[in-house]
Amino acid sequence: MILQIVVWLSSILCSAQVFSRPVTCQLQRSRVEKSRGLLHTMGGHFPAECVEQNLQIPFPTSLFANFELQNVGVEKAIYETLKSIDSLFDNESLPKRWSQKELEEFQDIVYLQVEENQCVSNSDFIKLEAILKPYFQKLRAVLEEKEFSSCAWEAVRRELQSTLHFILQNNSQLLWSSSL
């Protein structure tokens, strides 16, 4: 009987500890900055042998202009961008020449941002998804068309660096959390 009470109390205390974790639901600028830096350092400079395969798929910057005065819309756009990046990198055919340690750290940071900010996705922005989805479909199509070659990944990596750079440079009005 005493053993049952101890087990029962232990499970209550464990549950209280797990569920008492505060949910901030605020994107962390430092993590986005770190992600961008890792994208650069994991593969280094754009390889000369890939110059012919370099692509120009501009990030839909108009997406952020549409939500200029609405932080929730901007947060949703950033969240959906990170979620799409996470999905792109959920792939077995990533280049072997990239630093695996930095690649894993990049994937972990992006995944954490997505998981910790799921509450941002509660707001419904159909127009946002209609603008953002084709961009990532084009990136995925490039990878598939080039059979996930190293050069295709390099081109996608370069585009994503530009995307994160744009987000960081053009969303200073957003109240980012500063912790890492």
- Spatial neighbors of 123 by CB under 8 A, at least 6 apart, are 72, 73, 76
- CATH number of the domain enclosing 43: 1.20.1250.10
Tell me the residue range of the domain where 52 lies: 27-170
The answer to whether position 7 is within a domain reads no
The answer to whether position 148 is within a domain reads yes
Residue 9 has a pLDDT of 52
Mean pLDDT, rounded, for 87-95: 89
Report the 10 Å Cβ neighbour count for 148.
Answer: 16
Give 122 or 69, the one with higher predicted confidence: 122
The answer to whether position 118 is within a domain reads yes
Phi and psi for 179 in degrees, rounded to 5?
A: -80, 155
Give 114 or 61, the one with higher predicted confidence: 114
Q: pTM (2 decimals)?
A: 0.78
Mean pLDDT, the chain, whole residue set? 80
Residue 120 has a pLDDT of 72
The answer to whether position 155 is within a domain reads yes
Kindly tell me if the per-residue pLDDT of 14 is higher than 90.
Answer: no
Give the Cα-Cα-Cα angle 76, 85, 55 (nearest 5 degrees). 115
Tally of domains within the chain: 1
In angstroms, rounded to a whole number, what is the distance separating the alpha carbons of residues 116 and 17? Answer: 17
The answer to whether position 2 is within a domain reads no
Residue 27 has a pLDDT of 82
The answer to whether position 38 is within a domain reads yes
The answer to whether position 164 is within a domain reads yes
The answer to whether position 42 is within a domain reads yes
Residue 118 has a pLDDT of 82
In angstroms, rounded to a whole number, what is the distance separating the alpha carbons of residues 179 and 22? Answer: 14
The mean-pLDDT minimum among 6-10, 103-107, 156-160 falls in: 6-10
With CA atoms as reference, report the closest residue to 163 among 82, 100, 50: 82
Mean pLDDT, rounded, for 68-90: 82
